[in-house]
Amino acid sequence: MTPTFITETKPEDWTYVSEGGATIVFSYRGLHNVQFSDHVLRLRKVAYGSSDNTLLDANSEQPDDPMIAFQENIISKLVPSEFLPSLMVVVLEEDWLRSLVVLRDGDRPAERRQTDQIDVRRNKGILATDLIGGTPIAMEIKPKWGFLPTECHLSPKTVALKTATCRFCMHTSFRMKHGEVGTTYCPLDLFSCDETRVRKALGALWAGWYESDGSLNNLRFFVQGRMTKPDDDHSVQLLAHFFTADESTDVQNLQESFTSALAQALLSSPVLPILSTLQRTLDILDVEGLSKLYTQTSSGFSCDGLGSSVPDPSMEEWEDFVEVYQSDHHSWDHTVPSPGHLRHYLMAYLLSATFKDCSIIIRPKSAQVGSFDVTIIDMDIKSMDRLGKWEKLDKKIVEHYKSSGNQRRCIDNQRISQSGCTQLSKWR
C-alpha cells in the first residue's frame, strides 16, 4: 500500500482535540481530501528531559506505531471491529511537526504543556476515524475498572477492603487526600447493566464534569468537534438543544436529560459488558496473586519487583496468547495458578490494564435521533515495566483507604463465581 504523508496537508489544517498521558490528538479541518477528511491524527508525546527517544533518528526508517498491529491482530479478536476506530500509518516530518507545535501548543491544558510535548523525532503517526467531528455532539467516558477482585488471592490484610470497595473509588479517595478533585462516580454502577445504577453513575459523571469545570478525565463533552467546559455558555446551549425538548439550560434539567439519553445508549450497547468481562477474566489473580506467583516462580531470578526485567511480548506471542485465552484459559484452575503459566498470567494482566484504561466515545448515529454509536478508543499496549508501578500503587491505595476509615460498598453484580472460588480455596 502506498504510504500516506502528513506533508500532503498543512499544519493549519489540524485543530487540537484532546490528549492523554501518552498521545495528543488533532482533527483534520482542511479542504476535502479522501485520506484525511473525517480523520484524526494521533501523535506520541515525550516528557521533557526524558531519554525515551534518544534512540530515535528522525531521518531513518522507524517501526510503525505498535498500537496499529496490536488493534488489528489482537484486540480485534476480542472486541468486534464495529466497536473500534480504523487506524492506519501516516508518515510524519520533523519540520511539519514543529510548525504544528508552534500553532497549537497554546490550545493544550497548561499542566500538560508543562510536562510533555509532541515527539517531533517520530516519523510515523496514526490516522484514525474521527469520532468527535462531523456530529453536533459527542461524549467520551473513561469508565476504568468495572469489577471487584475475587477473594482467592487476596491477603488477609486486604481481602475485606478490596472485595467491598472498588479500585476506582479507593483511588479517588487516595487522590483527594493528595489534593486532587474528587468524584462520586463508581464504575461498578456504570457497568451494572441495571438502569437505576447506570443512571446514578451517569449523574455522578455529569456532576464531576460540572463541579471540576471539565477537568476530570472520566467524562468529556465535544460540541461541534471541540471539547466543551461547563462555563462555555454557547456550547452548553447547544448541548441543551440536543438533549432537552424545551432547550432549557437549567443544569438539573440538562443533567436529567443527558442521563436518560446516555443510559439508553449504554444499556443497548454490548460495549460495557464486553469491557468488564475482558477486564475481570484477564485480571483473574489480582496484582497480589500475580505477585505471589511471580515470586514463587522467579526465585533465583531477579526479585527487583513484579515483572522486573521480564521482556515485553512480541506480536507473535500476543497472537498465541489470545488463542490460549480463548480456549484453555477458561478451564484452568485459577485458584491454584500453575507456575508454568506465569508468562500467560503476566500478559493477561497487561491486556487487562489496556481494557481498564481505555475510553468510549458515544455519538448520535447520523440519521436516527435518539440512537447512538459507541466506540472504544485507546487500545494501547502496556509494557511489563509497568507491573512494579501497579503493584506499589495498589499497596498505597489500599493502605490509604484502610487508614481513612471509609467503607464505601461497591456492588459488583457479575461476581457469579465468587462464593465457589472462596470455598474452593478454603477447602484446599
Ligand X SMILES: O=P(O)(O)O[C@@H]1[C@@H](OP(=O)(O)O)[C@H](OP(=O)(O)O)[C@H](O)[C@H](OP(=O)(O)O)[C@H]1OP(=O)(O)O
**Residue whose C-alpha is closest to residue 217's, from 188, 175, 257, 248:** 175
Rounded distance between C-alpha atoms, residue 320 and residue 74, angstroms: 10
Pick the binder of ligand X from 104, 292, 386, 395 (CB under 6 A): 386
Burial class (CB in 10 A: 0-12, 13-18, 19+), 237: middle
Check binding of 408 to ligand X (CB under 6 A).
no
Pick the binder of ligand X from 4, 10, 15, 22 (CB under 6 A): 22
The three grid cell numbers given for residue 188, joined into one nine-digit string: 461498578
Q: Which helix (H) or strand (E) holds 201?
A: helix 195-211
Rounded distance between C-alpha atoms, residue 24 and residue 303, angstroms: 36
The three grid cell numbers given for residue 7, joined into one nine-digit string: 506533508
Nearest distance, CB of residue 379 and ligand ATP, angstroms = 8
Check binding of 305 to ligand X (CB under 6 A).
no
Query: How many Cβ atoms sit within 10 Å of the Cβ of residue 386?
Result: 15
Pick the binder of ligand X from 140, 151, 189, 357 (CB under 6 A): 357
Nearest distance, CB of residue 25 and ligand X, angstroms = 12
The single residue listed with the C-alpha cell 474521527 is: 130
Nearest distance, CB of residue 174 and ligand X, angstroms = 10
| Interactions with ligand X, residue window 76-95 (CB under 6 A) | none
Whether the Cβ atoms of residue 248 and residue 254 lie closer than 8 Å to each other? yes
Pick the binder of ligand X from 45, 121, 122, 142 (CB under 6 A): 142
Residue 202 or 353: the one with the smaller Cβ distance to ligand X is 353
The three grid cell numbers given for residue 95, joined into one nine-digit string: 519540520
Residue 219, phi then psi, degrees to nearest 5 = -145, 130
The three grid cell numbers given for residue 142, joined into one nine-digit string: 473513561
Binding partner of residue 189 among ligand ATP, ligand X, none, CB under 5 to 8 Å per kind? none
Check binding of 219 to ligand X (CB under 6 A).
no
Q: Which stretch binds ligand X (CB under 6 A): 17-25, 34-42, 53-61, 299-307?
A: 17-25
Nearest distance, CB of residue 53 and ligand ATP, angstroms = 16
Nearest distance, CB of residue 25 and ligand ATP, angstroms = 3
The contact set with ligand X (CB under 6 A) reads 20-22, 142, 217, 353, 357, 380, 382, 386
